[in-house]
Structure 1
Amino acid sequence: MFPNKDAVVFDGTTLSYADLARSIHTSISEEKNVTAKSFVFNRNPIETLCSVLASNALNRAVVVVPADYPEKNLEIEQEEPVPSGAFIGILTSGSSGKPKTVWKSNDNWELAFKHQSEIFGISKSEKLFVLDALSYSANLNAALHILWEGGTLVLGQLKKARRWKEMFEEAKVSSCFLVPSHCQLLLNNGIVNDNIKSLVTAGEKLSAKMAKELLERFPASKLTEYYGAAELGHITYHQNADIYNFPHSVGKPFPQVKVVVKDNKVTVSSPFVSSEYKENGTVDDLGYFDKGDRLVLKGRSGRMFNRRALNIYAQEIENIALTFDSVQKAVLVESEINKRLNLYFTTNSKALGNDEEELAAFLKQCLPKAKMPSFVKELEEIPHSETGKVDFRALSKMSGEGEILNIAS
């Protein structure tokens, strides 16, 4: 390791590996008398990284908390015990909305790093761009991976997306990890860069249209989409042309991962699965293998809706909508108001609402009547959380507002 090499770049501050080591030792001195698990609020990402690495050196678990995390939820978390060998606690809302912590051991992540380096094309020479929301497990994993590799971590801010192009040039960024909704910002801001060698995305399905455009804008890049979960680690992946040639798939298993589908339920066994999930190995995702042994997801069980004894999978409807030329993103939700299924979408059209009738007609051609959404509605933007994931609850509360095109009848 070269002590003078840049380790972390963030908002005008650059830390060398020697600087980072000193900051970690300072954190160790400040925290060595703390015996319980520690909570780190993700306000300054450099301080967050130092606290995480210091806690690891002290063999103590640490939970990275979003800056706006509700205090009442944190009180619940403080009561929860820490499993033996836990390193990182990942906060999630839980399937029922009740907060929970997913615990990862050091091995759960570090054992995957060598595979990530090989598959994603990440080496010690890379300068990896990751957003500063390190309470999101995939971002934190990417950040720790590049430091493990000995490369440079370039932390960006969502609120400064319009400056990413300048950041890429100033910091000589060579690799990126972004969820698809944040990849869309690269495209929206007109960023074209032939120096990016690796572009990795996860968190939600990458559309074929976006995959093609990303490869056009970043022609020297290896584009990788992987499917994973905080509870299960990396599961499957595919790359480049496979992403748009097999648009409904999420690829084949990650090394050391075994995926089994029984009665539509996806179960996983690997060294990367959290201890609490090793026995069951599932987060209730539903799917099947295509003829090429590629995994196709139907969605999570919570996004499977039963209508007149017929199972309707949200991702199936969304995938069909995405094949319509102008649709960029599509999300099917159940209304909290009337329990109807409503499809919200965004397009590349300039005039809002122009594509609603055309998409409705297209869906009627592609879907049986029993699977038709009750409404379609074009939005200027799909609501997302800070981590870039779709905010399904916000959409379900929107249902019934404004003029929405009824297509179920």
Structure 2
Amino acid sequence: MGNITGMYKTFAKVCPDKIAIQTNHQQISYQKWDELINQTANWLHSLRSENKTIGILLPNDIPFLQFFAGASRAGWIAVPYDLKWKINELEKRVMLSQPSIIISTREIHSQIQQRIPNVMILEDSLKEMSQFNPATVVETEENLPFYIGFTSGTTGKPKAFVRSQDSWVASFNCSRFDFELDESEQALILGALFHSHFLYGAISTLYLGGTVFLLEKFSPIEAISSITMFPVTTVYVVPTMVEALLKQEVQVDKSIKIISSGAKWSERSKIKIRIMFPNMTMYEFYGASELSFITVLSDRDGIKKAVTVGKPCHGVEVQIRRSNQELAQQNETGKIYVRSKLMINGYFDRHERAIHPIQDNEGWATVHDMGYFDEDGFLYIVGREQNMILYGGINIFPEEIENVLSLHPDVEEVAVIGLFDSYWGQIVTAAVKGKASQLELKRYCKMHLSSYKIPRKWFFLNEMPYTTSGKIARAELINQIESEVASD
């Protein structure tokens, strides 16, 4: 299908002076962008590495995207690393991904050089590559692996996955068909490029021929300022950012599209964001690191089907299966299986230097989410199989209870888990961060939940434990609460 940088040369000829990327201190045209990517690819070719894997440990700026796209054009694999990781967290992921070089700033290099090998300083690398030919580049094979990412689920233990060129090129069609994006887009990227949602937002915009506005780091004040000052038409967000934007208590009348993952959206936030941006169009998607886009909920459908995650994306097939692998009926909960060209190649095994695919022989894969289709073909997510609580023979999905409790104005964060009980098997237990009292929350639950779903035990925490990807670490939370129970 091609390379994720395949359209740059066309845009460099057709609209050479159009801005490809703009930051607070720099802007770069499509002609200059294409030349930079050629120089980066030619520089990488000159290194003659057998491994052909480059780690990127850089702040949000043009060089991050330059090395990522340049590696793709050179037929290399790019591995973004998170600047927020502690040194031991970084070490684990470097060992998993096995890069031949890592590009970082001089300041970061001085902090990690004793523990992390093969680090090259950004400024030195940029100086070297400026000497290389900006006009042409050696052709590479198509559909090579180009991206290693990490997923940790709820355990906090990282796994490395590998993605091919074709998977993202196919995903760009979702951007066109499902999000209705094209070359006219002026996309504001609010989050760190390490995270695939924001990296994809930037790279897909460049593939379509739009302009990327890049923030160095997320700030709600700076985000609103950028939306109002620049010709921004599209904003990539995650729900936690929306919560921060809402606290600014301003109204922005500009017509914009908001593209968000569907995770952790509360009904309260959805109502408030429409008040804040009265002329916005919202696109929410449900996906997974391994499976990419699965379903999309358009602005039109979001009004009448707000609690769903929408319908399958362009080119994506979705099935709901019972435990015996038979297809479930409408409104019957089962495990969600997906088949598409958007998926990862598989998990990377550093010892074997092999990729283990996630699909079965017919191309179907699952991340063990549970859900159902309604009579109109909209998908509802019930929860994740591994989080399911077995209470006296009844299956309870904590996500349903979390969604209710998160609507309470005095609840900042909540996680629902199952604690062992000799009689019931497991009992529903809530861990809450916020100002609400136990009695208040119990009464609130009685208004919205069946009696057997109301938590029997309550724990109030100052902070939640998190995985490195920012999710609540359920396994760690269970251990923490079990230890507290045992000490009582």
* Band the TM-score falls in, shorter-chain normalisation: 0.7 to 0.9
What percent identity do the matched residue pairs reach? Answer: 25
Q: Which of the numbers 251, 266, 270 marks the counterpart of 2:336?
A: 266
Cα distance in 2 for partners of 1:92, 1:386 equals: 9
The 1:44–1:178 alpha-carbon spacing in structure 2 relative to 1, beyond 3 Å, is closer
Cα distance in 1 for partners of 2:291, 2:30 equals: 31
What is the SS of the residue equivalent to 1:35? coil
Cα distance in 1 for partners of 2:359, 2:175 equals: 21
Cα distance in 1 for partners of 2:337, 2:80 equals: 27
Q: Which of the numbers 1, 9, 21 marks the counterpart of 1:8?
A: 21
The answer to whether the Cα contact below 8 Å between 1:342 and 1:374 also exists between their aligned partners in 2 is yes
Cα distance in 2 for partners of 1:377, 1:120 equals: 41
Q: Which of the numbers 10, 25, 38 marks the counterpart of 2:54?
A: 38
Cα distance in 1 for partners of 2:379, 2:34 equals: 42
Q: 2:90 maps to what in 1? A: 70
The answer to whether the Cα contact below 8 Å between 1:120 and 1:222 also exists between their aligned partners in 2 is no
The 1:185–1:147 alpha-carbon spacing in structure 2 relative to 1, beyond 3 Å, is same
Q: 1:406 maps to what in 2? A: none
Cα distance in 1 for partners of 2:160, 2:212 equals: 26
Return the offset for 1:378.
6.9
The 1:215–1:377 alpha-carbon spacing in structure 2 relative to 1, beyond 3 Å, is farther
The 1:317–1:168 alpha-carbon spacing in structure 2 relative to 1, beyond 3 Å, is same
Cα distance in 2 for partners of 1:391, 1:188 equals: 26
Matched, 1:51 2:76: no
TM-score normalised per structure 2: 0.72
Tell me which amino acid in the other structure corresponds to 2:393.
Answer: A
Return the offset for 1:393.
6.1
Return the offset for 1:108.
0.9
Q: 1:214 maps to what in 2? A: 273
The answer to whether the Cα contact below 8 Å between 1:384 and 1:390 also exists between their aligned partners in 2 is yes
| Structure number with bigger Rg | 2
Matches within 5 A, 1:157-196: 157-196=216-255
Matches within 5 A, 1:327-406: 330-333=414-417, 341-344=428-431, 353-354=435-436, 356-376=438-458, 389-390=471-472, 392=474, 399=481
Q: Which of the numbers 404, 410, 425 marks the counterpart of 1:320?
A: 404
Q: Which of the numbers 82, 93, 98 marks the counterpart of 2:157?
A: 98
TM-score normalised per structure 1: 0.84
Cα distance in 2 for partners of 1:40, 1:226 equals: 27
The 1:144–1:302 alpha-carbon spacing in structure 2 relative to 1, beyond 3 Å, is same
Q: How many residues align?
A: 392
The answer to whether the Cα contact below 8 Å between 1:181 and 1:389 also exists between their aligned partners in 2 is no
The 1:240–1:213 alpha-carbon spacing in structure 2 relative to 1, beyond 3 Å, is farther
The answer to whether the Cα contact below 8 Å between 2:21 and 2:27 also exists between their aligned partners in 1 is yes
Matched, 1:198 2:211: no
Cα distance in 1 for partners of 2:474, 2:306 equals: 22
**CA deviation map 1:199-222 (0-9, x unaligned):** 011051422222222222222221
Q: 2:174 maps to what in 1? A: 115
Q: 1:277 maps to what in 2? A: 358
Cα distance in 2 for partners of 1:203, 1:343 equals: 22
Q: Which of the numbers 310, 313, 329 marks the counterpart of 2:394?
A: 310
Matched, 1:27 2:43: no
**CA deviation map 1:274-308 (0-9, x unaligned):** 23223241111111112322111111222212233
Matched, 1:250 2:299: no
Return the offset for 1:254.
0.8
Cα distance in 2 for partners of 1:31, 1:393 equals: 41
The 1:394–1:119 alpha-carbon spacing in structure 2 relative to 1, beyond 3 Å, is same
Tell me which amino acid in the other structure corresponds to 1:77.
Answer: S
Return the offset for 1:70.
2.3
Runs (5+) with no aligned partner, structure 1: 347-351, 403-409
Runs (5+) with no aligned partner, structure 2: 1-10, 101-142, 323-333, 346-356, 421-425
What is the SS of the residue equivalent to 1:292? coil
What is the SS of the residue equivalent to 1:115? helix
- Cα RMSD of the aligned pairs, angstroms, is 3.1
Question: Which range is displaced more, 96-105 or 361-370?
Answer: 361-370
The answer to whether the Cα contact below 8 Å between 2:372 and 2:380 also exists between their aligned partners in 1 is yes
Tell me which amino acid in the other structure corresponds to 1:20.
Answer: W
The 1:94–1:208 alpha-carbon spacing in structure 2 relative to 1, beyond 3 Å, is closer
Question: Which range is displaced more, 243-252 or 1-10?
Answer: 243-252
Cα distance in 1 for partners of 2:460, 2:235 equals: 30
What is the SS of the residue equivalent to 1:316? helix
Tell me which amino acid in the other structure corresponds to 2:30.
Answer: Y
Return the offset for 1:384.
6.7
Q: 1:407 maps to what in 2? A: none
Cα distance in 2 for partners of 1:170, 1:388 equals: 30
Cα distance in 2 for partners of 1:209, 1:241 equals: 18
Question: Which range is displaced more, 150-159 or 318-327?
Answer: 318-327
Cα distance in 1 for partners of 2:464, 2:230 equals: 31
Matched, 1:129 2:188: yes
The answer to which structure, 1 or 2, has the higher relative contact order (CA under 8 A, 6+ apart) is 2
Tell me which amino acid in the other structure corresponds to 2:375.
Answer: K
What is the SS of the residue equivalent to 1:277? coil
Q: Which of the numbers 298, 318, 324 marks the counterpart of 2:382?
A: 298
Cα distance in 2 for partners of 1:382, 1:376 equals: 14
The 1:154–1:398 alpha-carbon spacing in structure 2 relative to 1, beyond 3 Å, is farther
